[in-house]
Amino acid sequence: MVLIVLDLAGVAVFAVSGGLLAVRRQLDVVGVLVLAVVTGLGGGVIRDVLIGDVPPPGFADWRYLLTAVTAGVVAFWFHPALERTIRMVNVFDAFGMGLFATAGAIKAVEHGLGPVPAALLGMVTAVGGGMIRDVLADRVPQVLVSNELYAIPALTGAALVVLGLELGLPAVAVAVPAALAVIVWRLLAIWRGWTAPSPRSPR
Amino acid sequence: MVLIVLDLAGVAVFAVSGGLLAVRRQLDVVGVLVLAVVTGLGGGVIRDVLIGDVPPPGFADWRYLLTAVTAGVVAFWFHPALERTIRMVNVFDAFGMGLFATAGAIKAVEHGLGPVPAALLGMVTAVGGGMIRDVLADRVPQVLVSNELYAIPALTGAALVVLGLELGLPAVAVAVPAALAVIVWRLLAIWRGWTAPSPRSPR
Amino acid sequence: MVLIVLDLAGVAVFAVSGGLLAVRRQLDVVGVLVLAVVTGLGGGVIRDVLIGDVPPPGFADWRYLLTAVTAGVVAFWFHPALERTIRMVNVFDAFGMGLFATAGAIKAVEHGLGPVPAALLGMVTAVGGGMIRDVLADRVPQVLVSNELYAIPALTGAALVVLGLELGLPAVAVAVPAALAVIVWRLLAIWRGWTAPSPRSPR
């Protein structure tokens, strides 16, 4: 019960970020709602298609859809207020990322994937929705370009979860500290401006 | 039999729109044919992957492929004539959209999806191919940005079909009036310039 | 054994091409590794999702992942040296394309697809990873635009394989000459500057 509430909170935060990008790009109401839904649910849907859990629960379960659509409507009406609280959106987004990475890894392990693919799918769950959002908005996915620490904490959190499950620990005992570690790491990265390394500039 | 002919007509119209965009973007013959095929078949393939009907019939059934490729070849050779009839292409496109939205919703219901996901999948069937087309052509999907009434009639038509099936009506008795309503609505939107609402301009 | 080595060589070459594009676009380490992995494994994953072989072996098998990630790390560190050998990368890419097209077609036939879809899936295996790479890098997929002979040899090779299998020939006896023919054709196209036809310029 707590888990589903946290999961839905992650969907809502991601969906708001999709809706706000749509507003900034001057898309219409369809664009705002579609970007909200694909950002909120896209990562989970990619994971579910790859592990063969179709129709994806995030798509077939009305609570997920309703959450994402509601977040889109909120972004449509209240985007000026939301933009002023963009720092708060980033904080929520860190929570969504931590929750999605760990929950995605647990689901992948439960479906019989090996440790490395399961950890990767955890990361995909966390970053996939945002990547679809950016492709639809015709820009390079920010997670690939922004030099912010985002995918690396997500992958680390997912890997910790997989490690704990391999050691036979119960899912909750593994997921909660892993998600917290990821969220704290991400918040510190925002606060301190930590970045991921870049290749030497070509020429 | 009538249904398959109408469905193939929808594929052909969508494929022509993909081929014409490829010509305008100065792609080569591969680009024209690939854009024709993904535009004509993409929406149905996304739907089929999400409901687990793989390999997707639209991909495995030679009639669909042949129709899409033929439309691509026609776009490759006859694009000057087709561009002059762009209004007619829009009319055909309205038919394709209405047919895909209703047929997609019926298929989703038959595969056991709930009412809301089934209606959404009907819309996805109608708009998915065009979205892939636009992403491959490196632009924001027009259905998100154009302010034209497109996705809303598609979703409404799919929802009407789902409602009728829930009420126990036979598929044909539901699909035909729903598709017609959608097509008329879409044609009126083109003719009268009806648009979807946009969010207030940011700042 | 020989086959898997050749397949992994194809993954490595494609992954290097993805990593190099990421460097040129000034993405960070996450961008380089993600583009390497999706370019190296994307074509096979699309094929596997379409034929229902999930989780995709190219994703669940650690050898594929390790190969793609290693190629990404190599691109991250050694991109200046690699860029100077770009002609050699093109030669390796021709090998990867020939191997993926034929191996992809064989797998599709083994999963029961008809001849035409199987040949198309062979082409998809060969060009899909590069198309995802280009979409993520926010450009039109080069295979659609470059006027280079790329998709046509891939489709021809895949079609030859399907034809041979339909005639009852053993897979190896079909795949080796078909892959060789494709590779030679592609190398000649690079060397002689052969191009695919384009539509007449609009207007």
Instruction: Quote ipTM for the complex.
Output: 0.92
The pLDDT value given to residue B28: 93
| Chain B residues inside the 8 Å CB shell of C203 | 80
How many angstroms away from the CA of A80 is the closest CA of chain C?
Answer: 28
Closest CA to C29 of A150, A105, A96, A42: A150
Cβ pairs bridging A and C (under 8 Å): 86
Which of B47, B113, B145 should we substitute to test contact with A (largest number of A Cβ atoms within 10 Å)?
A: B145
Residue B119's closest chain A neighbor by CA? A60
Cα B154 from Cα A179, distance rounded (Å): 40
Per-residue pLDDT tens over the stretch C121-134:
999 999 999 999 99
Beta carbons of B114 and A25 less than 8 Å apart: no
Average pLDDT value for residue range A87-100? 86
Average pLDDT value for residue range C154-177? 94
Cα B34 from Cα C15, distance rounded (Å): 23
Closest CA to A199 of C21, C191, C8: C21
Beta carbons of A144 and C45 less than 8 Å apart: no
The pLDDT value given to residue B1: 59
Identity of the residue in A35, A77, A135 whose CB atom sits nearest the CB atom of B135: A135
| Amino acid, single-letter form, for residue C201 | S
Average pLDDT value for residue range A35-62? 93
Residues of C within an 8 Å Cβ radius of B: 49-52, 111, 113-114, 116-117, 120, 131, 135, 138-141, 143-147, 150-152, 195-203
Q: Name the strand (E) or helix (H) holding C131.
A: helix C115-136
Beta carbons of C113 and B60 less than 8 Å apart: yes
Q: Decide which of A66 and C198 is more confident.
A: A66
Q: Are A140 and C25 in contact (CB under 8 A)?
A: yes
Average pLDDT value for residue range A139-156? 91
| Chain A residues inside the 8 Å CB shell of C65 | 116-117, 120
The pLDDT value given to residue C181: 95
DSSP bridge partners of B195 = B148
Cα C54 from Cα A52, distance rounded (Å): 6
Residue A122 has pLDDT above 90, yes or no: yes
Average pLDDT value for residue range C36-57? 95
Residue A148's closest chain C neighbor by CA? C28
Average pLDDT value for residue range C9-26? 92
Q: Decide which of C201 and B120 is more confident.
A: B120
Q: Are B24 and A29 in contact (CB under 8 A)?
A: no
pTM, full prediction: 0.94
Residues of B within an 8 Å Cβ radius of C: 22-32, 34-35, 45, 49, 52, 54-56, 59-60, 62, 65, 75-77, 79-80, 83, 135-138
| Amino acid, single-letter form, for residue C169 | L
Q: Are B44 and B100 in contact (CB under 8 A)?
A: yes
The pLDDT value given to residue C85: 77
Q: Can you list the residues of chain B whose pLDDT is less than 50?
A: none
Residue A197 has pLDDT above 80, yes or no: yes
The pLDDT value given to residue C2: 62
Which of B16, B28, B140 should we substitute to test contact with C (largest number of C Cβ atoms within 10 Å)?
A: B28
Give A167's pLDDT tier (boundaries 50, 70, 90): very high
Terminal Cα-to-Cα distance of chain A (whole angstroms): 54
Cβ pairs bridging B and C (under 8 Å): 86
The pLDDT value given to residue B203: 54
Residue C22 has pLDDT above 90, yes or no: yes
Is C34 strand, coil or helix? helix
Residues in CB range of C189: below 8 A, 6 or more apart: C148, C149, C150, C153, C195
How many angstroms away from the CA of B53 is the closest CA of chain A?
Answer: 9
Residue A1 has pLDDT above 70, yes or no: no
| Chain A residues inside the 8 Å CB shell of C136 | 131, 135, 140-141, 144
The H helix count followed by the E strand count for chain B is 9, 0
Which of A27, A30, A48 should we substitute to test contact with B (largest number of B Cβ atoms within 10 Å)?
A: A30
Identity of the residue in C49, C120, C139 whose CB atom sits nearest the CB atom of B49: C49
Cα C159 from Cα C154, distance rounded (Å): 9
Which of B24, B29, B30 should we substitute to test contact with C (largest number of C Cβ atoms within 10 Å)?
A: B30
The pLDDT value given to residue C1: 59
The pLDDT value given to residue A161: 96
> DSSP letter at C55?
S
Q: Are A165 and A50 in contact (CB under 8 A)?
A: no
Residue C10 has pLDDT above 90, yes or no: no
Q: Are B10 and B99 in contact (CB under 8 A)?
A: yes
The pLDDT value given to residue B202: 61
The pLDDT value given to residue C107: 93
The pLDDT value given to residue A145: 86
Of the listed ranges B85-89, C4-8, C23-27, the one predicted with least confidence: B85-89
Q: Decide which of C97 and A85 is more confident.
A: C97
Q: Decide which of C200 and C130 is more confident.
A: C130
The pLDDT value given to residue B73: 96
For C75, counting Cβ atoms within 10 Å of its Cβ (0-12 exposed, 13-18 middle, 19+ buried), the class is buried
| Chain B residues inside the 8 Å CB shell of C111 | 55
The pLDDT value given to residue A202: 60
